[in-house]
Amino acid sequence: MPGTTFSRVVFMCHAPIVIPSIGGSRAGQCAATSKAMQDAAKSIVDAGADRVVLLDPHLLHSPSAYTCVEMQANMGGSFKQFGRGDLTVGFPQDPEFCRHLIKSAAENHFALDALKTDELDHGALVPLWFLQAAGFKGPVCVIGFPWRSSQESHIEFGRFLGQTCGGYAGKTAMIASGDMSHRLQLGAPSGYHPDAHKFDKYFVECVEAGELAKASTLPEDLREIAAEDSSESMAIATGAVGDVAPTAKVLSYEAPFGVGYMEAILA
C-alpha cells in the first residue's frame, strides 16, 4: 500500500559538543542549539514518522556514487572518539527499505551502493542521539554522498528520494545533517577567514525565507571560504521538499566555538 511523502524534513547540526553531557562546562554556550536539536527531533516523532532517512555529509566513500549504510547489528555507535564511550546510539535497520532504494535508484539512473561499516560517524550520530532522546524507535537509513557531484545533481537525487519514499508504505522523515562555516573565529577548526561569516548569513537568510534552492547553490568560492559541510545535504533536502518551502522555519543559529550551527524545520 503506497505511503505518504516525507512526514517531516529537518536540518540539524552534528557537533558533538551540543550534546549537553559532552559539552560539560561549555554546554551553556550552545544551549540554544541543544534546545533546537531537541525540538527538531521531537517534531519528527510528533509527525508520526515510521522511519528516518539521514543525510550524512561525512560519509564520503565514493567519487561518483551515493551510499546506503549497512551494519551488522543496530544502526548506531558510540561517542568514544569524544571521550564518552558510554554514550551510545542504536536504532533498528530496515534492509527491505534499503534494497528498495538501491533498486529504485538503479532504475532511475542514480548510483546508490550499499556500504558496510561497523559504526556511524558523528555526522550521523549527533542528530540520531537527539532523535533517540526524543523517543523515536523506528528504523533509520543513513545515506552518504559522492564527492564529485554538483549541487544540481544532489537536488535531482533529493527529488528521486521524495518520489521513492513517497511511494513506500508508511511515513518517512528526513534529517539533513550539516555544520555551517568552520572558519568564524581565530582558533576555529579550519582556521579563520574574515569572509566566512557571509556564507552563514546568506544561508540562514535563504532558509528563513523558504528559498531552499538559493541556500543550496550559494557561490562555490564562498562555500570554499567557509569550509562548510551543509550545502550538499541541504541540496538533497531541497529536492525532497521543493525549491521553495513556504513553511520553513529556522529554530536556532549560533556560532560560539567558531563553527556555525543551524537547526531548521524545512517541511
Establish if 169 belongs to a structural domain: yes
- Give the Cα separation of 249 and 262 in Å (integer): 11
Q: Grid cell 559522492 — which residue?
A: 146
Establish if 3 belongs to a structural domain: no
* Helix and strand numbers, DSSP H then E, in the chain: 9, 10
Give per-residue pLDDT as tens, 161-176: 999 999 999 999 999 9
Q: For the chain, give percent helix, strand, coil, nearest 5.
A: 40, 20, 35
HSE-CB at 192 with a 13 A cutoff on CA atoms is 6
Mean pLDDT of 171-189: 97
Please report which confidence band the pLDDT of residue 2 belongs to, taking 50, 70 and 90 as the band edges: very low
Q: Provide the number of structural domains found in the chain.
A: 1
Give per-residue pLDDT as tens, 8-46: 999 999 999 999 999 999 999 999 999 999 999 999 999
Average pLDDT score, the chain = 96
Establish if 2 belongs to a structural domain: no
pLDDT at 131: 98
Check: CB of residue 101 under 8 Å from CB of residue 112: yes
User: Cα 224 from chain centroid?
Assistant: 19
- Give the Cα separation of 186 and 243 in Å (integer): 35
pLDDT at 103: 97
pLDDT at 61: 84
Establish if 251 belongs to a structural domain: yes
pLDDT at 264: 98
Instruction: Provide the grid cell at 17.
Output: 559538543
pLDDT at 224: 97
pLDDT at 3: 34
Establish if 256 belongs to a structural domain: yes
Establish if 239 belongs to a structural domain: yes
Q: Which domain range does residue 202 map to?
A: 8-265
Give per-residue pLDDT as tens, 58-108: 998 899 999 999 998 899 999 999 999 999 999 999 999 999 999 999 999
Amino acid at 88: T
- Give the Cα separation of 267 and 38 in Å (integer): 17
Instruction: Provide the grid cell at 53.
Output: 532517512
Check: CB of residue 99 under 8 Å from CB of residue 141: no
Establish if 59 belongs to a structural domain: yes
Check: CB of residue 88 under 8 Å from CB of residue 78: yes
CATH code of the domain covering residue 181: 3.40.830.10
Q: Grid cell 516525507 — which residue?
A: 6
- In 3D space, the residue among 135, 133, 146, 173 whose CA is nearest the CA of residue 53 turns out to be 173
Judged by DSSP in three states, 213 sits in helix
Q: Look at residue 4 and tell me whether its pLDDT is greater than 80.
A: no
Establish if 213 belongs to a structural domain: yes
Percent of the chain, pLDDT > 70?
99
